[in-house]
Structure 1
Amino acid sequence: MPLRVTFVAAARSSSLLAERFEDDRPLDQDGWAEVLRVADALLPLAAAELRYCSPTPRSRATGDALGYAPLVQLALRDCDMGRWRGFTLGEAMAREPEAVDAWLADPLATPHGGESLLAFISRVAGWLDTRPVGDGGRIVAVAEPSVIRAALVYALKAPPATYWNIDVRPLSTTTVTGRAGRWNLRLEGASAQPTRA
């Protein structure tokens, strides 16, 4: 039986335009309200055998508010952005436009002095591949949207540039199933049953 890992995107602590690299801000009032609105729908995930979260304050708070009591996983931390830590993309672009362009174009680039996109994806992949499988099981992990995007790029064996084309909304869920090196994206929800004539 394959392992089932459901990622829950942390609630937001700022507007999308104010999102900062390696944002350590706690949930704001709007973030808490969002968690309360979806808590009933996400509460069943607390039955997972293993419950984890990114080390950010908003990931921990989201997991705790949903009743998961998650264990912090350092491997699920955001990409190390070096000297751009705490900047918005616009602020980094205003200071170092050529460096930002290079970083966006080359998955091995580290003009900020931090982690490359490829190294970040590989770190998240390593975490995913080392989850205990046993006879299958369920895992829930509350993580930053960037971590979930990295996990999806790896699970789908997509080119690293695909990372920039994945949109992970706050408090959305994404499930992958499988085992080390063999992951599948699982889309869930209501489905129409075929009608019989």
Structure 2
Amino acid sequence: MHLRVTFVAAARCSSLLAERFEDDRPLDQAGWDEVQRAAHELVPLAAAELRYCSPTPRSRATGDALGYAPLAQPALRDCDMGRWRGFTLGEAMAREPSAVDAWLADPHATPHGGESLVGFISRIGGWLETRPVGEGGRIVAVAEPSVLRAALVYALKAPPSSYWNMDIRPLSTVTVAGHAGRWNLRLGAPQ
């Protein structure tokens, strides 16, 4: 059966320049305000048969504020950044510039002691491939922007380096449709 998974990027918990690897902070006031402004477009997604979120406080709060009552999925967590957890990219670069360069250049690299980009994309793809199909085949999942990028790379069978070329803003949506092994990007407003 055909499945449609709409990913919603979690609202912000800090300015985009202050984003931290594996950020566990809750929504800030700007994030709450963004959710209120976008709610009229995103609330209809609560009609999905299955509603999930990543285990971060901001993803859960975003889903709850939109009326999704999502079930947290450990597989939808952000990339494991090892010893860089909690750092901004700038902070990691200041401490370990050659390690950051290696990580950005090689999708198999794990200089931080965490998960490689390829491993992260595969984990998100594995989650996507194992979703049960309900009556209408609709799923909504609130997650970090990095999870949306990984899902797109996986679904489109794009090279891992394309991950770095995707700009996913808070509360934006991405829909993939199809079934295990065959996914298509669906553009336009959710139906």
| AA in 2 matched with 1:6 | T
Q: CA deviation at 1:2?
A: 1.2
| AA in 2 matched with 1:87 | F
1:133 aligns with 2:136: no
**Identity %, equivalent residues:** 84
- 3-state SS of 1:184 partner: strand
- Per-residue displacement from partner, 1:112-170 (whole Å, max 9, x unpaired)? 00000000000000000000135651000000000000000000000000000011110
- 3-state SS of 1:175 partner: strand
Distance 1:22 1:134 in 2: 31
2:27 is matched with 27
2:53 is matched with 53
Distance 1:136 1:25 in 2: 34
1:9 aligns with 2:9: yes
Distance 2:34 2:135 in 1: 35
Distance 1:39 1:189 in 2: 14
Q: Given the two structures, how large is their TM-score scaled by the length of structure 2?
A: 0.97
Q: Do the aligned residues in 1 keep the contact of 2:49 with 2:136 (CA within 8 Å)?
A: no
Unaligned runs of 5+ in 1: 191-197
2:123 is matched with 123
- 3-state SS of 2:21 partner: coil
State the aligned residue count: 190
Q: Do the aligned residues in 2 keep the contact of 1:103 with 1:111 (CA within 8 Å)?
A: yes
Q: CA deviation at 1:28?
A: 0.4
C-alpha distance 189-60 of structure 1, shift in aligned 2 (>3 A): closer
Q: CA deviation at 1:40?
A: 1.3
Structure with larger Rg = 1
1:102 is matched with 102
Question: Runs of at least 4 residues of structure 1 off by over 6 A?
Answer: none
Q: Do the aligned residues in 1 keep the contact of 2:49 with 2:135 (CA within 8 Å)?
A: no
1:80 is matched with 80
1:185 aligns with 2:185: yes
Q: CA deviation at 1:189?
A: 3.9
Q: CA deviation at 1:41?
A: 1.1
Unaligned runs of 5+ in 2: none
- 3-state SS of 2:33 partner: helix
Distance 2:135 2:66 in 1: 26
- Cα RMSD, aligned residues only: 1.2
Distance 1:64 1:134 in 2: 21
2:114 is matched with 114
Q: Given the two structures, how large is their TM-score scaled by the length of structure 1?
A: 0.94
